[in-house]
Structure 1
Amino acid sequence: MDLSRVRELLESKSYDKVADICDNLMLQVASDGIAYHDDWPYSIHLLAHIYVHDINSARFLWKSIPSSVKESQPEVTAVWKIGQRLWLRDYAEVHEAIRGYEWSQDLQGLVAAFSELYTKKMFQLLLSAYSTISIQDTASFLGMNEDDATNYVLQHGWTVDPASQMFTVKKQPIVTEQKLDPSKLQRLTEYVFHLEH
């Protein structure tokens, strides 16, 4: 079984493509009648689905993994803990699942990239859901200690009230793209021309 393409994608940090490549390889190997259970990179495959926010596919993959693999490869179970927390919408615990395992060399880059992506997603969620939020809750959602969370949100323009230990969320300006309608431009041009003459 040739996993060189998966390795290339991991090395080039093209993590968003890994799940599809693994899916296609798994189908190809299965159609060739080759057994792949023991040496298949389940942890990479599972985390790649989680990385692209395809928790349903990750769940189905988890269910298809033989129990012997789940028992003999603790990293696979550790990856699924992340998936479980996402499935249950236990957002703060996702960070604990990430930090709760000593990841192999193969997975360190993918885990770090997912963690960063997830932190950004949680920050966007806080932006849309709150006008004020406690330092403690912010730190929990972002998976950071209170000092790091404070520095992170202050860099994004939030303000902090030290007395109440609350942040005031700075909403991002909503950018709306206006499309230029050629007929309106033509009418405006004619109107300005008429005013000038």
Structure 2
Amino acid sequence: MDFTPLTEALSSKSYDKISDICDELMLKFAAEGIPFQDEWPYQIHLLGHIYVNDINSARFLWKSIPSAIKESQPEVAAAWRIGQRLWTRDYAGVYEAIRGFDWSQETRVLVAAFSEVYTKRMFQLLLSAYSTISIEDTARFLGMNEDDAANYVLQQGWTVDPASRMLTVKKQLIVTEQKLDSSKLQRLTEYVFHLEH
């Protein structure tokens, strides 16, 4: 079996392409009648779907994995634990699942990349959902201890009230598009018409 496209994606850190590559390879091997189940990198495939936040596909992949593999390959089960926590929106549990397994070298890099992306997603969630939030809750959402979480958000411009241990969220400026006035639109239309004729 040729896993070259997958190996190249991993080595070039193109983690957002892994799930598609794995899906295509799996279909190709199945169409060619190549037995691949025992050698398939299910943990990478699951983590590829998890990385791009495609939990439904990860769930369906998990259901299709033979029971013998789920039982004999603990890293596959560990990858799915991350997916389970995402599925149930157990934000702190995602970080526990990430830290709760001694990942192989090949998988460790992908898990670390997912952890970083996930922290950024959680930060964006906090940014859009809260105007104030406790340091404790922020730490839970970001998978950090309270000091690290406070430092992380303070670097993003948030402020802290030491007495109440509450953070005030600094909303990002929303860039509005400049509207085109009708005279400019008319001139543009005439220009394009002139070019075409």
The residue type equivalent to 1:49 in the other structure is H
Partners of 2:26 and 2:83 lie apart in 1 by 20
RMSD: 1.4
Which residue of 2 is the match for residue 193 of structure 1? none
Residue 69 (structure 2) pairs with residue 69 (structure 1)? yes
Q: Indicate the residue corresponding to 2:96 in structure 1.
A: 96
Q: TM-score, normalised by structure 2?
A: 0.91
Letter matched to residue 119 of structure 2: T
Q: What is the DSSP-based 3-state SS (H/G/I as helix, E as strand, rest coil) of the residue aligned with 1:133?
A: strand
Q: Which residue of 2 aligns with 1:164?
A: 164
Give matches, 1:26-175, under 5 Å: 26-175=26-175
Alignment of 1:13-28 (within 5 A): 13-28=13-28
Superimposed CA distance per residue, residues 90-120 of structure 1 (whole angstroms, 9 cap, x where no aligned partner) = 1121111111111111111111111000000
Matched residue of 2:140: which SS?
A: helix
Q: Distance in 2 between matches of 1:12 and 1:46?
A: 19
Q: Counterpart of 1:167 in 2: which secondary structure? A: strand
Percent identity between the two aligned chains: 76
CA distance in 2, matches of 1:186, 1:111: 53
TM-score, length of structure 1 as denominator length = 0.91
| Distance change >3 Å, CA 186–CA 105, structure 1 → 2 | same
How many angstroms does 1:135 deviate by? Answer: 0.6
d(CA) in 2 for partners of 1:15, 1:104: 17
How far residue 180 of structure 1 moved from its aligned partner, in angstroms, is: 2.9
SS in 1 for 2:176: coil
Q: Distance in 1 between matches of 2:179 and 2:51?
A: 34
Q: Structure 1 stretches of 5 or more lacking a match?
A: 188-197
Partners of 2:186 and 2:135 in 1: CA distance: 53
Q: How many Å apart are 1:3 and its aligned residue? A: 0.7
Question: Can you list the C-alpha shifts for 1:50-98, whole angstroms capped at 9, x where unaligned?
Answer: 1011111100000000000000100000000010011111112111111
Aligned length: 187
1:23/1:185 Cα in 2 relative to 1: closer, same or farther (>3 Å)?
Answer: closer
- Secondary structure, counterpart of 2:92 in structure 1: helix
Contiguous gaps of at least 5 residues in structure 2: 188-197
